[in-house]
Amino acid sequence: MFKYQLILLGTITPLTEELVALYHQKIEELKLQKDFYKVIRAKEINEYKGNQPAFVIYFGDPAGNHKDIDEVSKMIDQGNMVLPIYYKQGAFRTEIPAILSNQNGLLFSNFQKDKIVDLVLESFGKLRNARKVFISYKRNESTSVAIQLYEALEKHNFDVFLDTHAIKQGEPFQEELWHRMTDCDVIVVLNTPGFMESEWCEKEIAEASVKQIGVIQLIWPNHKLERMAEVCFPTQLSTVDFINGLYSDKDKSKLTDQMVEGIVSHVESVRARNLASRQDNLITEFLNAARKNGKQINIQPERFLTEELPNSKRRIFIPLVGIPQSLDYNQSSELRKAIKDFHVEEVYLIYDDVKIRQKWLDHLTYLDGQLDVETIKKQEFDLWLQNH
């Protein structure tokens, strides 16, 4: 059976088992079939298969007693990604063996657990590599906190959308704003007293509900949650969450470092949970349209759809959250090659095209004519199924 292999090497600690438990939890949240995901420790390394995807986590040793060097060497030789984890600032060379000196290591903290597991799932193509966050706020109430979160999330490798930083001069502001929201994984709302009084802020929340995008609401100390998005994770802030208790100065208020770290970790956690619900929505819409048109479409354990064609061939349909990118085309083309159980005649990415800018839709139409993978817009599911 084809399996995704998570290899655990180095000095195993209780942290290792915490990460394994979190890994299994996220596989369940993403509604993936757990039988396809294997965890291999050093003593089981003979179960590793070189022709199947693998991600290696190497746990460093504070005392410099480096373990499993031969196994690490084998993993590198076979082109597998290796993530070294170390525990003390400036101690990478002590804790991690020289053979991994060229790898970009991760300094561990309790806030990084979700990130570590998400990196594994991203490498397997089960989470988007693009880690997109949209910050929604009211300029005359929370600009300094919005910028603070923008900088913190960007530091943790998120692609952050903040209107004042991300829209070029001359671009149609509202059109670009909807486009970016459509493509984000999580929205962070700075819910200040006047936030919902803004027409556009209210529309952003409504649009997030329609698209089932996860919304983390940070509710200011002098405010309370009034209306919620479809998928909402509220946090009521208090004065102690702000430096010197100052929360009402749009230019000077700042959250404490601890609160910022917690928000970054929360964003990481919400990504996986939200992805599954948005994929479900696409799958349901496509299946309903197929049923209406008398088509027999089946869901496979890896959460793509198949349709039987004559001569034992099949079409596959891959639900894609966000705006299709060139990497999505490439990964889908690779999936076609990896499927050995049946002949794949055609591959399609199905996606929600509502609010995506026309120039990008035109670009996707151009790519459809050039590549061996094509796209189908949500608003054209019915028409496409009628004609194919």
Give CA–CA dist 99/114, Å, rounded.
26
Q: Which tokens in the block code for residue 367?
A: 């790519």
Closest CA to 337 of 310, 316, 363, 358: 316
- Across the beta sheet with 4-10, the strand order is 37-41, 4-10, 54-59, 81-86, 106-107
Which amino acid makes up residue 256? T
Q: Is 352 in a helix, a strand, or coil?
A: coil
Task: Identify the H or E element spanning 337.
Answer: helix 326-338
How many CB atoms are located within 10 Å of the residue 384 CB? Answer: 16
Residue 337's pLDDT is 72
CA angle 157–34–298, rounded 5-degree value: 100
Which amino acid makes up residue 330? N
Give CA–CA dist 285/300, Å, rounded.
16
Which amino acid makes up residue 298? N
Residue 167's pLDDT is 64
**Residue entry with tokens 């655990």:** 8
Q: What DSSP line would sit under 129-162, residue for residue? A: SS-EEEEE--HHHHHHHHHHHHHHHHHTT-EEE-
Which amino acid makes up residue 155? K
Task: Identify the H or E element spanning 285.
Answer: helix 257-292
CB 221 within 8 A of CB 249: no
Q: Is 277 in a helix, a strand, or coil?
A: helix
Question: DSSP assignment, residue 198?
Answer: S
Phi, psi of 308 (to 5 degrees): -70, 135
Phi, psi of 329 (to 5 degrees): -60, -45
How many CB atoms are located within 10 Å of the residue 327 CB? Answer: 12
CA Rg, the chain, in Å?
A: 23
C-alpha distances (whole Å) from 155 to each of 152, 158, 287 are: 5, 7, 40
Give CA–CA dist 62/243, Å, rounded.
34
- List all residues 6 or more positions away from 194 whose beta carbon is below 8 Å from its beta carbon: 138, 140, 141
Query: Going residue by residue through the chain (388 aa), what tens digit of pLDDT does each one get?
Result: 567 899 999 999 999 999 999 999 988 888 777 888 999 999 999 999 887 888 999 999 999 999 999 999 999 888 788 999 999 999 999 999 999 988 888 999 888 898 899 889 888 877 777 788 999 998 899 999 999 999 999 988 888 998 766 666 667 777 888 888 888 989 999 999 988 887 777 777 788 888 888 889 999 998 887 666 556 889 999 999 999 999 999 999 999 999 999 999 888 888 777 777 788 889 899 999 999 999 988 887 667 888 988 887 889 999 988 888 877 777 777 777 766 667 888 899 999 998 899 999 999 999 988 888 999 999 999 999 999 9
